[in-house]
Chains A and B, each alone.
Chain A
């Protein structure tokens, strides 16, 4: 490859995205990781800054130097100076990275240090980011944009008259995931909202814009090089019309309903915009399309890799961030090879002979929220389905969400369904399916949902076929499979278990075949084994001789099962390769590194269900399956797999032992039998018993069911009233008994211990101490780790307990135990026979590749007990999405609600504390304490304010307040919202504040 830049002399700093938050998630981990790997591959000295410990990006192998530090100006400057950085990349880490690079530029820091920005220039970024400027530039170039008028406090009334039409959208400022924005349909409503907005003194102006509600939303992914060559990687059609954020919408790639001439006009406009703005690298252009009138408006341009780039990369087989990085360092598209085929030009636009569908994942049941979706993002991740027809992809995507939609196929009435179709909401997909499986009028369904008639009628076909086939399932199974209907959907409708469907199919030889994704519709040959399952066609998974092992991925990112598991999955793949096995992975998450086709030897992009996992087992006959890195998903599937393929198929802890542990009441009985302490508990088999058993604990209880994901079937009760609410909700949702009722112990410390075992020996991976007391979910609590935590005798006791459990359950591989400690006594809360959320954090803190140690044991080698790592202190700091759920309580509990985490590390506890303070901007800036006067603060500059109004004013009038520490107040929620809205760091509980206040 030729390049005019002397890459050998470059020292590049890549800015990461920081903790996972809604609207900025795993997709940027993927982009940044790709960027680093390309840079390193080009022999460029590569430095990364990212505070997120959960990612593969911050693995020490990602870059020549990885700084796990807060992404801020001071740290960036220090790193640039220490590392003698020559170039910086800010287009791979979401808005966070882009903003940091812009700050560095605006402050003249880049210029002073002679550091050049690789990719789109700050001036060009400015055009895309500044709404007014962007509109002006688009208008000058004859590109249609929706009209918009800016209103200020003073000219509001007169400008109201200038508004040409309703509905309109209000925009208060730019923010992640389009946070601001309300749709208003009349002048009187508009006036009312404006008064409300301007009552906040900090709001200087509001933008009122034409609402494009109901039009089709389209996206175009563009790459442009330094020579001005550009191409479209793919386009995407949102099934949900405008009004639903593209991150919240069901999206098809490529478009299905857009005629060529309209598509070409949009494609051309997208390339033209990239040229006008001066994009170098990746860019994403969004359109609102009026299909009837064959016109469209440009609604947004992202001058960087975006959320959609990851999806587009996985959908098309064209890795955008990789090619974009080569472009950033000066390679023209003409000289770059297509990474998936290896033998064609990257200047070709990918073509697809399959369809992909993406469905968002929402945090069901986690927050008080209407579940309505609109122009601000609430989803935490996405699942993608790939198939040889739209129907197949769509249904595979639905199954990949891992939601149980069977309830929607019970007899539902028109009156139940119709109101749920009108407004986009988290459960609408279920109601759409319900309406299609019944004989509701399709025109009405289309009208209510805004979905295209052509698409709705085709999905209805599928349900008609299913309904016709249900009485003679065995005979029709072949046809159902070729039509693209996953076993799970058949099971929802017919009630036949998936395992039974699998056996029926095995008997008749109806097994999936595998097709390759090659970015060229097989026009050119490709040897990259990126596959998906379908039925009734030729199989392309020609046999590989090597012994292989299948690793189960963790599926779509959701709260409680996110990026951390993908880190472990990727490390496991790397470790497996070292042991000489061919590493195969199955996963359905388009955002992650594990589904990059270069990560594993074979990538199967399919739903994590029995059907698709068994398909690979039948075809590839691996030595076994590893389920330990797939979070709760794999634990739930292990039993069925072992029943059909034998116990040996599950590597590591056996399926029957997993099952014993996961049956909560069984596990509690085992603990009693082993003489291991736990909180007092009892079982409830009826609602009456829930009440009865809770009374004995004075209504301070934790209630659990079996097989939990991120604590979502676990609830803390603190009062009789809360218990009543729970019982009502539980009965309504037809929850399953038995439930485990255990005492919520007050004043206990909680510890999270990870270890690896070979069935006999135990090697401690790490123990984290929670700062918040037991009862707060380990994923939501701030936790610290390091020498002397916990005290020696407590650690000894924990290891004794671990050893007992290891022998009892023959635990092999990774194990995680949550302990409580009170007055020197150690209690077990929970055992997970799998890698936990904290593995990446501990691995990075200790500098030890723990996953490799675990894999060694899992594949049958002996446990290497000699491990010495760094003796550092680390803190894991969770981040919460409360700003997106304004009706939700900020109270931390057993239900996990944080979306991601940051890491701070230091050689001693004292400096760790200052590092944490720095993360929260405590020391450098003025801050505000809100609370009652029972708590005393030693530091002089602490301001304690008791009056609500006074506090609000102080935060709002910009009096240098850069930090809010909330303690106890009835206005807790309000303060948190104000702080979040003003992007002011927030400490949301007194335990954390107390910890930080210690000197």
Chain B
């Protein structure tokens, strides 16, 4: 069956249908990884987005549940080149997974043309549809809805390393981040709407990754709370968490032209560099951080995006990239050691 990816600028891409037959819309982003497809689809940060996979042969790959980064597929839709002739176990497996979660897929698409389009004209909204007729409206990103969908429903505790206690603010976290945090302390996992009254019992506040616009008003209360506690308690963030911390420090977030999505991004400074896993459409503008005693540890080696920052006096550390990999390299797990150091620092 034919299926179409219709874009808000009037362009369309034709392919064949797989997965669910429902219609679905979102922001179209591309990911350049050649492994970790299932980890990527299940990463809640892709909530509200349609993922275009650049790597064209992805149906040779196992889609096993234990790779999942959340309870299901987070993306709004999947666009791939592979499967000109469908078939093989991997194809059917993914087909079933997408069907059971009501996510449409489209294969046989000229994903390179699509990628170049996104690269040249910036982020664009689209709809995956069985009809080539354009809709009247393209869905806009509703950050609050996404957050309600992807963060935990009820607060809970996870027993981790016993000597520390971490407040884990789940804004749509990857399971691998929870796994990393457990190595550092016991976790009280909370969502935005059930924040604790006081932070005194915690050794650190951790802000997870997640979907949506970091400038959305849904984060206003959280930012207010954090601002009050600046310097009193260590705060650590990853991805969306990093962008929230940036704003708490007085920085400004800006939307990038087409963001960073892939496992091959180099971050570093003029002497050291690490390959890291990225998935962000927003970033903290570097100008807005100037003169705020923010130490930019790493920048993206291509476009200079601040990728890891530290404010020693405030016991703040945050990273735009994903030090936990999953998918992607874990060359920069030094981040977690650094975080450990901050927690230990307040204890002594």
Contact = CB atoms under 8 A, between A and B. Distances in A.
A521 B301 contact: no
A261 to B, nearest CB: 7
Contact of A538 (B35, B113, B269, B326): B113
Contacts of B264: 348-351
B32 A521 contact: yes
Interface string B145-172: 0000000000000000000000000000
A260 B88 contact: no
Interface string A835-879: 000000000000000000000000000000000000000000000
Given A254-B34, A255-B35, A268-B330, A351 B67 contact: no
A227 B273 CA distance: 9
Contacts of B113: 537-538
B328 A353 contact: no
A360 interface: no
Interface stretch (B58-66, B208-216, B232-240, B279-287): B58-66
B329 A267 contact: yes
A347 B35 contact: no
Contact of B36 (A229, A232, A260, A353): A260
Given A258-B35, A264-B330, A348-B265, A353 B111 contact: yes
A515 B112 contact: yes
A332 B266 CA distance: 13
A949 B65 CA distance: 67
A522 B116 contact: yes
| Chain B interface residue number, banded | 35 or more
Contacts of B326: 260-261
A915 to B, nearest CB: 49
Interface stretch (A133-141, A451-459, A655-663): A451-459
Nearest to B327: A260
Given A347-B301, A522-B115, A260 B262 contact: no
Contact of A454 (B33, B90, B328): B90
A395 interface: no
Nearest to A513: B110
A389 B57 CA distance: 6
A520 interface: yes
B271 A461 contact: no
Contacts of A228: 272
B49 to A, nearest CB: 16
A261 B116 CA distance: 29
Nearest to B82: A389
B220 interface: no
A334 interface: yes
Interface in A223-256: 227-229, 231-232, 254-256
Q: Which of B32, B39, B57, B274 has the most A CB atoms < 10 Å from its CB?
A: B57
A496 to B, nearest CB: 21
Given A259-B35, A521-B32, A457 B55 contact: no
Given A267-B329, A353-B115, A388 B272 contact: no
Nearest to B81: A388
A520 B57 contact: no
A537 B15 CA distance: 12
Contacts of B273: 229, 231, 332-334, 345, 347
B21 to A, nearest CB: 23
A511 to B, nearest CB: 16
A263 interface: yes
B301 A334 contact: yes
A522 B268 contact: no
Given A260-B39, A454-B89, A389 B61 contact: no
B270 A347 contact: no
Contacts of A751: none
B261 to A, nearest CB: 9
Contacts of A389: 56-57, 81-82, 84
Contacts, number: 175
A457 B59 CA distance: 11
Nearest to A354: B56
Given A264-B328, A268-B331, A231 B60 contact: no
Contact of A257 (B61, B82, B301, B328): B61
B323 to A, nearest CB: 13
B272 A524 contact: no
A351 B33 contact: yes
B250 interface: no
Given A229-B268, A260-B327, A538-B110, A348 B301 contact: yes
A335 B301 CA distance: 9
Nearest to A535: B84
Nearest to B54: A521
Given A227-B272, A334-B271, A390-B57, A271 B115 contact: no
Nearest to B266: A347
A462 interface: yes
Interface string B298-323: 00011000000000000000000000
A349 B266 contact: yes
B119 A260 contact: no
B271 A390 contact: no
B275 A458 contact: no
Nearest to B274: A229
A430 interface: no
A791 interface: no
Interface in A490-541: 515, 520-525, 536-538
Contact of B266 (A255, A348, A458): A348
Interface in A307-333: 332-333
A453 B90 CA distance: 11
A520 B112 CA distance: 11
A522 B112 contact: yes
Contact of B62 (A229, A254, A259, A536): A259
Nearest to B109: A537
A458 B59 contact: yes
Given A254-B34, A347-B266, A537-B110, A455 B60 contact: yes
Contacts of A388: 56, 81, 112
A92 B184 CA distance: 45
Interface string A443-480: 00000000011110110011001000000000000000
A482 interface: yes
B1 interface: no
Contact of B61 (A256, A352, A465): A256
Contact of B84 (A457, A484, A521): A484
B87 interface: yes
A344 interface: yes
A618 B55 CA distance: 28
A455 B57 CA distance: 11
A993 to B, nearest CB: 56
Contact of A349 (B30, B90, B275): B275
A355 interface: yes
B331 A353 contact: no
Given A258-B35, A348-B302, A515-B112, A457 B57 contact: no
B325 interface: yes
A483 interface: yes
Contacts of B325: 264
B56 A260 contact: no
Interface in A256-303: 256-261, 263-264, 267-268, 271
A462 B84 CA distance: 10
A481 to B, nearest CB: 10
7 contacts: A256-B60, A264-B330, A333-B273, A351-B262, A390-B57, A457-B88, A522-B112
Interface of B: 30, 32-36, 39, 54-57, 59-62, 64, 67, 81-82, 84-85, 87-90, 110-113, 115-116, 119, 262-266, 268-275, 301-302, 325-331
Given A264-B325, A454-B60, 18 more contacts: A227-B271, A229-B268, A231-B275, A257-B60, A259-B36, A259-B62, A263-B35, A334-B271, A353-B32, A353-B54, A389-B82, A455-B60, A458-B59, A458-B60, A462-B85, A515-B112, A521-B32, A523-B30
| Pairs A-B, 10 closest by C-beta atoms | A260-B36, A347-B266, A349-B264, A256-B60, A345-B301, A521-B54, A351-B32, A260-B35, A260-B327, A538-B113
